[in-house]
């Protein structure tokens, strides 16, 4: 069974700036510390990435997964897992909502691992994913992690 986690933060930047950082996949390893490499596998006619392979440090080993992006809504960056060595499901989205002087970023992730893990390990891993997904994104956008 998949676990769904959500978290929200506010970033002091307009939605289009945050979206630009989220879609600059080649630069993810510069600010998302667990990501070791990123490779764009497929692009649309405008050169926008649609399918991206990631290699990350995870659970004491290297893990690889491929995500297919849906960018049809300019206020949402959404993805679905197409291939993963440790995950059966890794689907999620960032929703970018204008807020006072910035953007409220609503992050949602649904994860199902191939190998079951004890609850405390799952919770620790989810916390680490959320920190990277929102904390490191916020630092990158706001300039403390250029």
The continuous run of DSSP H or E covering 129 comes out as helix 119-130
Phi, psi of 71 (to 5 degrees): -115, 25
Instruction: Supply the mean pLDDT for the chain.
Output: 86
- Worst-scoring range by mean pLDDT, 96-100, 109-113, 136-140? 109-113
Classify domain 3-142 by CATH architecture.
2-Layer Sandwich (3.30)
Give the pLDDT confidence of 49-79 residue by residue, as tens digits: 999 999 988 656 788 999 999 999 999 999 9
Tell me the torsion sign for CA atoms 7, 12, 15, 17. Answer: negative
Report the C-alpha gap between 138 and 92 in whole angstroms: 18
Q: Which 8-state DSSP code applies to residue 47?
A: S
Tell me the pLDDT band of 95, cut-offs 50, 70 and 90: very high
Report the C-alpha gap between 83 and 101 in whole angstroms: 38
Hey, where are the domains in the chain?
A: 3-142
Q: Which two tokens stand for residue 139?
A: 């630092």
Pairing of strands 102-113, 3-11: antiparallel
């Amino acid at each position: 069974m998949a676990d769904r986690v959500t978290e929200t933060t506010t970033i002091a930047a307009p939605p289009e700036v945050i979206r630009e950082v989220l879609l600059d996949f080649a630069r993810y390893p510069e600010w998302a510390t667990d990501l070791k490499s990123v490779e764009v596998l497929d692009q649309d006619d405008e050169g926008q990435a649609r399918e991206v392979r990631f290699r990350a440090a995870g659970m004491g080993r290297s893990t690889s997964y491929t995500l297919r992006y849906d960018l049809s809504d300019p206020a949402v960056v959404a993805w679905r897992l197409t291939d993963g060595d440790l995950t059966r499901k890794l689907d999620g989205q960032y929703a970018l909502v204008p807020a006072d002087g910035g953007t409220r970023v609503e992050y949602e992730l649904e994860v199902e691992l191939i190998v079951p893990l004890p609850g405390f390990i799952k919770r620790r891993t989810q916390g680490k994913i959320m920190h990277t997904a929102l904390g490191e994104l916020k630092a990158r956008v706001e300039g403390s992690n250029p």
